[in-house]
Structure 1
Amino acid sequence: MKSVKNLITKMANTLASSKSELCHPFTVAVEGNVGSGKTTFLNHFNKYENVAVFAEPIELWRDCDGYNLLDLMYKDPKKYSFTFQSYVQLTMLRQHQKKIQQPVKLMERSIYSARYCFVEKMSRDGLMAPPAVAVIDQWFQYVTKSQDTNLDLIVYLRTSPEVAYERILKRNRSEERTVPFEYIKALHEIHEDWLMKKTLHKCNAPVIVLNANLDKSVIEEEYQKYEPHILNLNKSPLRAKSY
């Protein structure tokens, strides 16, 4: 009787484990400053059929019932920072919650960097009043404790502020034309404190740091060094997508 009970317990644990793995794929957040090369990174890994890639939902930020919140935030951050970050938090939560068939999920940024880096920056600059920060934080605490927003790995695309700013100028996105170098430099320091020094907020997953200063012509070699870790290859061998 005891052996039967042990077998049933083992089967139940196995089913629970399998269910957990199905509900929560190996989830990687790709973090870094503006202009750190996140799109290039995601494009590299998007060729594998067992990887689901989620870019930042910028188009949603540009059209929330007809309002370009991203543009409004850049033009008048003191007025629109709270509105913008509230919507960012909602859309990033949806990214975390999207169900996929693939065993690996790569996300461009996360609900954590939205709070730990961007709300932090707005708070320091006085662009978001303390009561507004408190409301954002209460929602963040509730969501991350009650919903599955867990990360298995963070990939930090580490760039110097100078390189990041040069790339921003070259790509010339309309909303970014007014972004000063000082903003990029300060945002770099916040990322460093969060992901490198681990002195700011909570780093809730292991971190891999990539040298994202490298030119596009050689950056893929840097990606390939870390593919086994990024894609959890011990459990899910890679297969190239067919087009």
Structure 2
Amino acid sequence: MPCRLTPTRQFERLVCLRNVSQTTRRRGHRQVLRMYRCSRQALDTAYKVSLCVEGNISSGKSTFLSEVLSSASRLEDLVYTVPEPVQSWQSVPRKSASNPPHNLLKEFYTNPERYAYVFQNYVFMTRYLQERQSAGTSKLLRITERSVFSDRNVFVESVHEQGWLSELEADLYNAWLYPMINALPSLIPDGFIYLRVEPDVCMERLQRRARGEELNITLEYLESLHYKHEKWLLQDVRALTVGKKHQETLTIGFVTDHMCSQFKKKPVLILEFGHDVDFSSDDKTVEQLGKKVRAFYDYISDE
């Protein structure tokens, strides 16, 4: 039967045996330290799940993170949310701190042909830094707004098709992207949540929020992004009944990325998010969404 003592107690017992030789104690010390390191590593990684919320511009990702995931009782004390680093894109420090920062997001939307490649490079770096900063959370479920994979499969593809990214720039982006992801596998999530919204609804929401940098966005651009989200995330879709104590029937797809050697088939929770809801007062909808996310978390944890 395996010993039930903690590594610390095992070590104390070993070093307190006066009649045991120094060599034996050193061996015991090393053995316990190995056990301690293994137990700490297991504790740090056990049952932790990383998900990314994907969706079109103005599909409701920020609302989903801030109002749904933080309010649902099923997710209480479970979720750590990481919003998209938009502020980093809006405030790029200058060499001289006395000068106002650059707004790279505004520059991209104002002159996409000039800044598309620069913007996508900086987006990758900020996502990596954000992943590192949030990696130490003690919560069992980390949910991040978008990923380097939506950057590649949706936004880079779209700006390339629009003619804002040259053939050389697109090839250059791909040349460094996948080696970087393979070298930094923590950027690969355990799964995705896709907030599915029609482009015209996204356009209405975009106009309501009136973010200055987004004033030049067209419905045609949103339709292009929607098509690419659908093509990427709606693969091998099926209805699955999942969950531990509380079972839920979820719509789940499965995506692969053959360009990334460490990216195995990943599940995608598909949520229809096209109806405008006041989540601050609609507790029923919040709880329903929370149940689905919790069941999806249980499903991934059991894999």
> Are 1:136 and 2:173 matched, yes or no?
yes
Instruction: List structure 1 runs of 4+ shifted beyond 4 angstroms.
Output: 12-18, 198-201
**Structure 2 residue corresponding to 1:194, chosen from 210, 213, 232:** 232
Separation in structure 2 between the aligned mates of residue 205 and residue 55 of structure 1, nearest angstrom? 21
More deviation in 106-115 or 41-50?
41-50
Q: Which runs of 5+ in 1 are unaligned?
A: 1-11, 236-243
Deviations 1:45-75 (A, max 9, x none): 1353332110000000001111100000000
SS in 2 for 1:232: helix
Q: Which residue of 2 aligns with 1:207?
A: 268
**1:14-93 alignment runs, 5 A limit:** 19=41, 22-23=44-45, 25-43=48-66, 44-47=68-71, 48-65=76-93, 66-93=101-128
Deviations 1:88-141 (A, max 9, x none): 011112223332221110100011111111111111111111111122212210
- Once the two structures are TM-superposed, the CA of residue 23 in structure 1 deviates from its matched residue by 4.7
**Structure 2 residue corresponding to 1:180, chosen from 201, 218, 222:** 218
Checking the alignment, whether the CA contact within 8 Å between 1:97 and 1:149 is kept in structure 2 is no
Q: Which runs of 5+ in 2 are unaligned?
A: 1-33, 94-100, 237-253, 258-262
Checking the alignment, whether the CA contact within 8 Å between 2:69 and 2:290 is kept in structure 1 is no
Separation in structure 1 between the aligned mates of residue 211 and residue 160 of structure 2, nearest angstrom? 25
Q: Which residue of 2 aligns with 1:125?
A: 162
What letter matches 1:93 in structure 2?
A: Y
What letter matches 2:202 in structure 1?
A: A
Structure of greater Rg? 2
**Structure 2 residue corresponding to 1:105, chosen from 142, 153, 156:** 142
- Once the two structures are TM-superposed, the CA of residue 194 in structure 1 deviates from its matched residue by 0.2
What do you get for the CA RMSD once the two structures are aligned? 2.8
- Once the two structures are TM-superposed, the CA of residue 145 in structure 1 deviates from its matched residue by 0.3
Separation in structure 2 between the aligned mates of residue 201 and residue 133 of structure 1, nearest angstrom? 21
SS in 1 for 2:182: helix
Q: Which gives a bigger RCO, structure 1 or 2 (Cα 8 Å, sep 6+)?
A: 1
Separation in structure 1 between the aligned mates of residue 299 and residue 153 of structure 2, nearest angstrom? 29
- Once the two structures are TM-superposed, the CA of residue 215 in structure 1 deviates from its matched residue by 2.0
More deviation in 73-82 or 16-25?
16-25
Q: Which residue of 2 aligns with 1:239?
A: none
TM-score normalized by the length of structure 2: 0.67
